[in-house]
Amino acid sequence: MERLRYAALALALLSTGGGVALSATAPPSPAAQGVEGDLATARMLAAMLQSARGVVSAHQSEINDPATGDKHLPGRRVLAEAVDRFRAQTGLDPNAVDPKSYAGRLLRAQMDAIIEVMDANQTTINQEGVGFKGFIPATFARLVNEAFERRVGGEASIKVTAPLPLVRNRQSRPDPWEVATIADHFETANWPKGELFSQVTGEGKNQRVRVAVPEYYAESCLSCHGSPAGELDITGYPREGAKLGDLGGVISIQLMPQ
């Protein structure tokens, strides 16, 4: 029944690019319902992470302002702004997702993780006399993903990774499945830009639905990852020399089959 409740949601999400598109007139098969539900759940989780990370990116100048103490960025404000971005990106209200469903439980755990991470880092964010705080979107996303996994246990996991030469944090290194997905799909010339890749892996209790969502460098990313290649950015890492629209990362999601 949970799959059926998400048939319309999946169609709405999958029509925005990538995944499996179904006829609006013919009812989906049970197998297709499973695929739709998993991809819809993964797209929601990826969209919420991107939305919250976008909020932190938009407030970087405030966060790094040494002359101001309280930045007025508590967790609930950041979540509210993330929800606004999520609605604009997906056309969906995350609060309308059934909180008792698998997708609803995961989405609310992720939203709670956003609040937790922001509230836990208020001392750093609000420190006066210090410019660059190191609370950048990538760090925020990693902390949110860790807090999310603590909340959901083995039900799901989210990780932001990238092609191996672009990985700056060893914790974000791609595993063999992610390496293959990047090389065999996202880095190929004929892969539709923005389309996700999904696959069921493992057997029995180790079976997982794995979904990878490619991400591309936006203008705001290039201050750290753009040119000139090799020059140190504000975080102390050498710039990669990336160009606008280059593949820059992958949101890798693992879901337990429902």
The pLDDT score that the predictor gives to residue 235 is 85
Q: Rounded to an integer, what is the distance from CA 71 to the centroid of its chain?
A: 24
Please calculate the CA angle 131-132-137 and round it to the nearest 5 degrees: 140
> Residue 93's pLDDT is what?
96
pLDDT at 76: 98
**Is 142 in contact with 172 (CB distance < 8 Å)?**
yes
Tokens linked to 52: 């919250």
Task: Report the C-alpha gap between 194 and 237 in whole angstroms.
Answer: 27
β-sheet with 247-255: strand ranges across: 156-161, 247-255, 208-216, 197-201
Residue 220 pLDDT: 83
pLDDT at position 54: 96
Lookup: tokens for 2:
């949970």
Contacts of residue 25, defined as CB under 8 A and 6 or more positions apart, other chains included, come to none
Residue 7 has a pLDDT of 35
Question: C-alpha angle 167/154/208, rounded to 5°?
Answer: 75
pLDDT score of 143:
98
pLDDT (0 to 100) of residue 35:
56
Q: Are 90 and 47 in contact (CB under 8 A)?
A: yes
**Mean pLDDT, consecutive 10-residue segments, the chain of 258 residues?**
35 35 30 67 96 97 96 98 97 94 96 98 97 96 98 95 92 95 96 95 91 92 87 87 90 91
Measured CA to CA, the distance from residue 59 to residue 62 in angstroms comes to: 5
Quick one: how far is CA 42 from the chain centroid?
A: 9
Q: What is the pLDDT of residue 31?
A: 40
Asked if 87 and 96 touch (Cβ cutoff 8 Å), the reply is no
Angstrom distance (rounded) from CA 62 to CA 230: 27
| Site of tokens 């990362």 | 249
Q: Are 200 and 254 in contact (CB under 8 A)?
A: no
Q: Which residues contact 121 (CB under 8 A, 6 or more apart)?
A: 135, 143
* 222 residue type, one letter: L
Q: Are 115 and 148 in contact (CB under 8 A)?
A: no
Predicted pLDDT of residue 205? 87
- The pLDDT of residue 34 is 61
